[in-house]
């Protein structure tokens, strides 16, 4: 598809081209679904074993990667110390996109080398072109330090994909505004990363029947959500859900088990341990124990 612009076709024509690019972005992610699923299994394996999840990127791709990782502690209860950002120009200044920093291969290597051995970790590297010098060098350094590499790129045959244990091609084609990879390429990256991290956390037991059961209720909105989750899982009213959350020190999974009949926080924790953190099997064990005691 040829690039469009408002001077040749008017604003309506540009808008249509932009929307078509967004649709292509989602189609590109759908085409990569199997690769995303395989990568998610690897991410969950590393996180489940105590490893770190390292996001690597530059420019708008780095910002998109950071957004995905920044939301994981609140949404899925992932410890913040296990989410690492390796971003051109530094994560603290990522919003001030530094074009020159994207070309700094030495900085990419240094930033990864500072993390030590990565054998227990998984690195997710993101680049629209798949050839951004900083990102490629950082991914190469991570591979040399034994990290598992997941790579997202929007161009077939990209160097970044060659490095990866799990290459994910998001073939979005030309942008409606040439070179503006924050458009369809960025949408595909955001979508793919969201699928990747959510699937990985679901495999770890952080999602149950579409509910974020490992959420950290650290503000009013999330406390309300936690109450609703406990009530929905255990089939209880808000007052019971509130007491259960207090008994469980705001641990949503444990609170749901207490509301469903576990006699203590310790009992709820034991059930979750036996079920490897998955609340569905823990609820089944609880019901079996209750039935056998009747």
Instruction: Give the H/E segment covering residue 53.
Output: strand 53-57
User: Which residues lie below 8 Å from residue 181, measured CB to CB, with a gap of 6+?
Assistant: 60, 61, 128, 129, 154, 175
Question: Using CA atoms, how far apart are residues 91 and 58, in angstroms rounded to an integer?
Answer: 10
Question: Using CA atoms, how far apart are residues 271 and 280, in angstroms rounded to an integer?
Answer: 10
Question: Using CA atoms, how far apart are residues 258 and 262, in angstroms rounded to an integer?
Answer: 4
Cβ neighbourhood burial of 219 (10 Å; 0-12, 13-18, 19+)? exposed
**Residues in a beta bridge with 22:** none
Query: Mapping DSSP to helix (H, G, I), strand (E, B) and coil, where does residue 19 land?
Result: helix
Q: How many CA atoms lie within 13 A of 117 on its CB side?
A: 2
Active-site hit among 27, 37, 45, 71: 71
The encoded tokens of residue 73 equal: 């502690």
Q: Strand 122-127 to strand 166-169: parallel, antiparallel, or no bridges (unpaired)?
A: unpaired
Question: Using CA atoms, how far apart are residues 54 and 232, in angstroms rounded to an integer?
Answer: 34
* 96 flagged as catalytic: no
Report which of 153, 144, 184 is spatially closest to residue 27, judged by C-alpha positions: 184
Q: How far is CA 270 from CA 44, 151, 248, in A?
A: 22, 37, 13
208 phi and psi angles, rounded to 5 deg: -140, 120
Active-site hit among 7, 37, 102, 288: 102
* 27 flagged as catalytic: no
Q: Strand 148-153 to strand 122-127: parallel, antiparallel, or no bridges (unpaired)?
A: parallel
Q: Catalytic site residues?
A: 71, 102
């Amino acid at each position: 598809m040829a690039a469009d612009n408002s001077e040749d076709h008017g604003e309506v024509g540009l808008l249509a081209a932009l929307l078509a690019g967004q649709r292509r972005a989602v189609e590109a992610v759908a085409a990569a679904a199997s690769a995303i699923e395989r990568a998610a299994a690897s991410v969950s394996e590393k996180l489940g074993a105590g490893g770190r999840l390292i996001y690597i990127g530059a420019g708008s791709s780095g910002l998109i990667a950071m957004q995905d990782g920044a939301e994981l502690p609140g949404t899925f209860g992932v410890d913040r110390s296990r989410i690492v950002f390796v971003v051109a120009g530094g994560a603290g200044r990522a919003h001030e996109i530094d074009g020159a920093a994207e070309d700094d291969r030495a900085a990419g290597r240094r930033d990864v080398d500072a993390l030590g051995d990565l054998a227990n970790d998984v690195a997710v590297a993101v680049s629209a072109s798949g050839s951004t010098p900083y990102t490629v060098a950082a991914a190469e350094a991570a591979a040399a330090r034994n990290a598992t590499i997941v790579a997202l790129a929007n161009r077939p045959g990209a160097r970044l994909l060659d490095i990866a244990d799990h290459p994910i091609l998001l073939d979005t084609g030309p942008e409606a505004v040439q070179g503006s990879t924050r458009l369809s390429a960025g949408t595909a990256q955001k979508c793919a990363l969201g699928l990747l991290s959510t699937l990985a956390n679901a495999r770890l037991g952080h999602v149950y029947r579409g509910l974020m059961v490992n959420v950290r209720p650290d503000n009013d909105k999330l406390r309300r959500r936690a109450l609703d989750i406990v009530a929905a899982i255990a089939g209880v009213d808000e007052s019971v859900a509130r007491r259960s959350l207090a008994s469980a020190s705001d641990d949503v999974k444990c609170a749901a088990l207490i509301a469903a009949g576990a006699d203590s926080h310790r009992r709820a924790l034991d059930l979750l341990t036996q079920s490897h953190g998955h609340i569905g099997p823990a609820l089944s064990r609880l019901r079996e124990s209750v039935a056998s005691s009747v």
